[in-house]
Structure 1
Amino acid sequence: MTAVPLSILDLAPVPSGSDAGSALRNSIDLARRAESFGYNRYWVAEHHFTDGVASAAPAVLIGLIAAATDRIRVGSGAVQVGHQTALSIVESFGLLDAVFPGRLDLGLGRSGQRRTEALAAIGGAAKPRQAPRTESRVVDGLLIPPPFDFTSIVASPRWSLQADLQQQPGAQSPDFAEVVDDIRALTAGTYARDGIDVHVTPGEGAKTELWILGSSAGQSAQVAGERGLPFAANYHVSPATVLEAVGHYRSAFRPSEVLDRPYVLVSADVVVAPTTSEARELATPYGHWVHSIRSGRGAIPFPTPAEARATPLTAQQQALVQDRLDTQFVGTPAEVAEHLSILRAATDADELLVTTITHDHADRVRSFELLARHWFV
């Protein structure tokens, strides 16, 4: 099987004992190295209210990374549109494209709508759903675990307060499809309302590549397909629903001026080291880190393996993160590449996006380098 392009998703993780400034400098350094290793894209995430992740403002970090690199595409994975207007997004990425023309990817994700839908489900306002799967299954060699229920996190008072702080008082998140259409129109210079046209500088005519990110067979996949846009599916965030997500996107796809056929990118969490045992050692804290997110606290600074072993997860805590542990690809370059090849085949992905978190920056750089050397042969 011919290797597909390989790209990187970076959360700018903050290791225990470190700080945000060091994490961001590490991300810039990793992007430089990723370019030399042969990676196709370097995307940064958007996360808020976490001690362990420093990528709170994607457009700012993208600008720093683009300035430090020459060729690699740089983008967002993803800008959460519920926190910003279409205009502010187009202007921010238009400014970046004006300085770094043709290198920018604008990945969009839903945010505010997810909370509304989850609260409706809790209150019984949502349509009845089928009972979720409780057993893992294997599809074409790929492990598909039972789905994780995020409603308890979204409905927590802490999450509600944080969501409120990300918007102006009284503001409501607009429909995702409308935001996507507004971004496309503002970029194309075709936006008009009530007979009045508006034009945006910078932003209009920008050569940014528009992507939609999604974790399920929901609106994101539908919007990406109907508008003929590339779609990024999150195996690393929601491994239980990746097949439904890409399937729904493909079934909804309509050719556009952007694509004549569907284009799917799929993400995975990986840790690569020279030996399997060393890779497993580096991945030891991963369960603790995921648990901090799923318990509603927000991502903690990534522990050292020794710190993780000193406070082992309880059986209940382990169960909360088991799906993520089971679907993290950990091992030698050949072992991880084999897992990625299975993921690619099962999803028929056109490109893969890998994310890696280790405590030491040098181990993270080495993980990406070892994988690239094996993959790009």
Structure 2
Amino acid sequence: MPKPPVIPLSVLDLSPVSANQSSGDALRSTLALAVASEAAGYSRYWLAEHHLNDGVAGSAPHVLAGLVASATKTIRVGTAATLLGNYRPLQIAESIGTLAAVFPDRLDLGFGRSGPPKSPGEPAPGQPSPSVDQEPEERVVEGLVVPAPRPIFGAVLPRKFRLQSELLGRFPGDTDNFENDVQDIIGFFTGDYRTRHGEEVTATPALGQSPQFWVHGSTAGPSARLAGKLGLPFGANYHVAPATVLDSIAEYRAHFKPSESLQEPHVIVSADVLVAPDEYSARRIGRGYAQWVHGIRSGQGAIPYPAPEDAADFALDPEAADLVKDRPDTRFVGDPHQVSDGLRTLQRATGAQELLITTIAHDPADRENSYQLLAEAWGL
């Protein structure tokens, strides 16, 4: 009896900066990991976009995508996601068009809607906020932990988050342009873009190139609905917002309309993963993860990832630990077989056609080894 096909695995890389490491070290580690991931059989290498984070060097995904594509030969390279409000549509089309022209049939462009809250204390778009009237509870769906949503900031929006928005030219409500921006960017590639006055625009070198377009989302909101409406593949964020991953996928599928490029819904689901030869080693090298996540989720910015032996120096108080509780609870940590079993549960519960793996550790060698062990156990 033939074995079922292996679900493709891909890599999501934030280029984390570790304690006692420079941003240059982190970026060179990204290039080394991309080469190793290609050799191990991963399908895609996607780059995230974060700004003003001491512990993350992945701030310029379009530039870094070019470096990754140059360092590799066959793996697909892309963004997960390009945050549209940080750019003008023409800039994105020209940047990705340049890469697609040089590396044909290898580029993926992921659209993300994240933007500034409309008022202090309101969660950033794409992030769940629990009701003050009802405390949601953790669920287990087909073996998958679906935690209660966590609040994102607090009563006061952190100064660094405000500063980031100011420096990037963001303004409250700018995510309302998301659908038009997505369609404009695609139009630059297809030649269908028109100005408000009906003028044709040629965006060289984007015109005629064909990157694969994705929409990424964390909730059952505009991003999921737009991906379905346009017949595009959808990236669901279990690693960022595990509480709402099933709802976001259901919303996407409910609104899906076949397109020229995609006849049926297609979902990739992200997961935080850390693999080592045995569970004890995996949990040891994973120390510091909650503290690192707290920096991002609190809006203060990720700290340089601490060494395992120093993680206790960054212990979180109970309130801070509660803010990020869902992330350690849904991280797949252990030996190759334990993690593979967990990822199969994730795939089964979500019905995903692909899985997107992100791994954070202090030592780049531990990250690379984690991806290698998973690839072998998964059968890539």
What range describes the TM-score normalised by the shorter chain of this pair? over 0.9
Q: CA deviation at 1:206?
A: 1.1
Shift of 1:158: 2.7
Shift of 1:149: 2.1
8 Å CA contact retained: 2:49, 2:81: yes
The answer as to whether partners of 1:228 and 1:253 remain within 8 angstroms in 2 is: yes
Q: Equivalents in 1 of 2:134, 2:208: separation in Å?
A: 44
Aligned-partner SS, 2:303: coil
User: Normalized against structure 2, the TM-score is what?
Assistant: 0.93
Report SS of the residue matched to 1:77: strand
Shift of 1:111: 2.4
Residue 211 of structure 1 is matched in structure 2 by 214
Match of 2:149 in 1: 147
Tell me the CA shift for residue 150 of structure 1. 2.4
User: Using the alignment, how far apart are the partners of 1:279 and 1:220 within structure 2?
Assistant: 34
Residues 153 and 296 of structure 1 are in contact (CA less than 8 Å); yes or no, is this contact kept in structure 2?
Answer: no
How far off is 1:376 after superposition? Answer: 1.5
Alpha carbons of 1:15 and 1:259: their partners in 2 closer, same or farther (altered >3 Å)?
A: same
CA–CA distance in structure 2, aligned partners of residues 121 and 265 of structure 1: 24
* Structure 1 letter corresponding to 2:371: F
Q: Which of 90, 111, 114 in structure 1 is aligned with 2:114? A: 111
Residues 90 and 316 of structure 1, relative CA distance in 2, 3 Å threshold: same
SS in 1 for 2:325: helix
- Partner Cα distance (1:333, 1:366) in 2: 11
- Quote the residue 2:280 is aligned against: 277
1:299 to 299, 302, 317: 302
The one-character-per-residue Cα deviations of 1:322-362 (angstroms, maximum 9, x if unpaired) are 11010000000000000000000000000000000110011
How big is the alpha-carbon RMSD for the aligned residues of Structure 1 and Structure 2? 2.1
Q: How far, CA to CA, are the matches of 1:370 and 1:287 in structure 2?
A: 23
SS for the counterpart of 2:67 is helix
Relative to structure 2, which stretch is displaced further, 360-369 or 171-180?
A: 171-180
Secondary structure (helix, strand or coil) at the match of 2:148 reads coil
Does residue 1:290 correspond to 2:263, yes or no?
Answer: no
Once the two structures are TM-superposed, the CA of residue 120 in structure 1 deviates from its matched residue by 6.6
C-alpha deviation, 1:121, in angstroms: 7.8
1:165-220 CA-to-partner distances (Å, cap 9, x unmatched) read 00179995551111111111111001112121111101011110000000000000
Report the CA distance between 1:133 and its aligned residue. 4.5
CA contact (8 A) 1:83 1:111 kept: no
Match of 1:260 in 2: 263
CA deviations on 1:55-93 (whole Å, 9 max, x unpaired) are: 100010000000000000000011000110110000000
Aligned to 1:125: none
Q: TM-score, normalised by structure 1?
A: 0.94
| Alignment-derived partner of residue 342 in structure 1 | 345
Question: What is the rounded CA distance, in whole Å, between the counterparts of 2:90 and 2:101 in structure 1?
Answer: 16
Distance in 2, Cα, partners of 1:170 & 1:149: 20
Say yes or no: does 1:3 pair with 2:2.
Answer: no
Letter in 2 for 1:27: T
- 1:184 and 2:186 are equivalent in the alignment: yes
Tell me, in whole angstroms, the C-alpha distance in 2 between the residues paired with 1:236 and 1:154: 25
Q: 2:319 is matched with which residue?
A: 316
The 8 Å contact of residues 113 and 175 in structure 2, kept in 1 or not, is answered as no
- Partner-residue secondary structure (3-state), 2:117: helix
Q: Is the 8 A contact 1:153 1:159 kept in 2?
A: no
Shift of 1:157: 3.2
Q: Tell me how far apart the structure 1 counterparts of residues 173 and 134 of structure 2 sit (CA, whole Å).
A: 33
1:358 aligns with 2:332: no
Q: Is the 8 A contact 1:211 1:232 kept in 2?
A: yes
Match of 1:107, SS? strand
Aligned pair in 2 of structure 1 residues 22, 350: CA closer, same or farther (>3 Å)? same
Looking at structure 2, the residues matched to 79 and 336 of structure 1 have their Cα atoms a distance apart, in angstroms, of 29
* CA deviation after TM superposition for structure 1 residue 130, in Å: 9.0
Task: Provide structure 2 residue ranges, at least 5 long, that are not aligned to the other structure.
Answer: 125-129
Which of 354, 367, 371 is matched with 2:370 structurally?
367
Answer yes or no: is 1:232 the counterpart of 2:235: yes
Q: Which one of the candidate residues 43, 47, 53 is aligned to 1:44?
A: 47
Secondary structure at the residue paired with 2:273? strand
SS at match of 2:277: coil
Conserved? CA contact 1:82–1:174, under 8 Å: no
**After superposition, what is the alpha-carbon deviation per residue over 1:215-274, rounded to whole angstroms, capped at 9, x for unaligned?**
000000000000000000000000000000000000000000110000000000000000
Per mean C-alpha deviation after superposition, the further-off stretch among 328-337 and 188-197 is 188-197
> SS where residue 339 of structure 1 aligns?
helix
Secondary structure of 1:289's aligned partner: helix
In the alignment, is the contact (CA less than 8 A) between 1:83 and 1:173 conserved in 2? no
Q: In 2, distance between residues paired with 1:170 and 1:221?
A: 21
CA-CA distance at 1:151 after TM superposition = 5.1
Question: Quick one: distance in 1 between partners of 2:188 and 2:120?
Answer: 31
Q: Which residue of 1 aligns with 2:334?
A: 331
CA distance in structure 2 between the aligned counterparts of 1:105 and 1:132, rounded to whole angstroms: 40
Aligned equivalents of 1:101, 1:306: Cα separation in 2:
45
Alignment partner, residue 98 of structure 1 = 101
Residues 165 and 171, structure 2, Cα contact 8 Å, conserved in 1? no
Supply the AA of the counterpart residue of 1:19: S
Deviation per residue, 1:122-145 (Å, 9 max, x gap): 9xxxxx979564321100100000
Shift in alpha-carbon separation, 1:154–1:165, aligned structure 2, 3 A: farther
Matched, 1:134 2:139: no
**Aligned-partner SS, 2:53:** coil
